[in-house]
Chains A and B, each alone.
Chain A
Amino acid sequence: AQTVTQSQPEMSVQEAETVTLSCTYDTSESDYYLFWYKQPPSRQMILVIRQEAYKQQNATENRFSVNFQKAAKSFSLKISDSQLGDAAMYFCAYRRQYSGNTPLVFGKGTRLSVIA
């Protein structure tokens, strides 16, 4: 079974600074997707960024970027120029690539605080 591990229960960052959230995963599959989701106090799970395992290039979405190391099964999220609105729970998630919609497997999350 696939597992996702987030080893940092809590992180904090100064506004405008950069922070990196860590994630490792375990799978025997070669084709899969990895995601970072943000869950603010409103509880709505919001997709931050997605990485396809077959792509060597790291995904980037504005201030958010990932460092995907397939051999090491590592998938970290870097948030640049942190803003107060970035404060939230961040979940790393894995999904097997298969026809149809395979379920997401989530880590336990990292709570990010942004200090003004």
Chain B
Amino acid sequence: DAGVTQSPTHLIKTRGQQVTLRCSPKSGHDTVSWYQQALGQGPQFIFQYYEEEERQRGNFPDRFSGHQFPNYSSELNVNALLLGDSALYLCASSWRGQTYEQYFGPGTRLTVT
């Protein structure tokens, strides 16, 4: 049983560019949440997807958008990249019927130069 997978592992982009990160949830999970973890900080919640809709959103600008596909996988898109967007982006999956467990992927390290 594969856990949560994310791609790519590392990514280097230039300021102003756009990036797409991908996440496949653990088998049986239907909810995907995205977190941003800046260096030396704890993860911060970006948004959550369930039934292909954004259900909850943290304090992030509209440059951050996402999508969930019918197979429950998800994408995180960031437009007009800023240097401050450099971070580890974590995806967490869960099953909506279970209210406490979230399983994390290994993350995508994004560097903006």
Chain A residues close to B by CB (< 8 Å): 4, 33, 37, 42-47, 50, 52, 91, 93, 95, 97-109
Contacts and interface: CB of A to CB of B under 8 A. Distances in A.
B42 A108 contact: yes
A42 B106 contact: yes
A46 B102 CA distance: 10
Interface in B36-67: 40-45, 48, 50, 55-56, 58
A107 B40 CA distance: 11
Interface of A is mostly: loop
A32 B50 CA distance: 21
Nearest to A37: B104
Interface residues of B, number: 29
B101 A106 contact: no
Contact of A104 (B31, B43, B105): B43
A97 B107 contact: no
B43 to A, nearest CB: 5
B45 A44 contact: no
A107 B105 CA distance: 19
Nearest to A107: B42
A101 B58 contact: no
A103 B45 contact: yes
A44 B99 contact: no
B23 interface: no
A54 to B, nearest CB: 12
Q: In the complex, which of the residues A47, A50, A98, A101 has the most CB atoms of chain B within 10 Å of its own CB atom? A: A101
A107 to B, nearest CB: 5
B50 to A, nearest CB: 7
A103 B100 CA distance: 10
Task: Report, nearest first, the 6 A-B pairs whose CB atoms are least far apart.
Answer: A106-B42, A45-B104, A103-B45, A43-B107, A33-B100, A44-B106
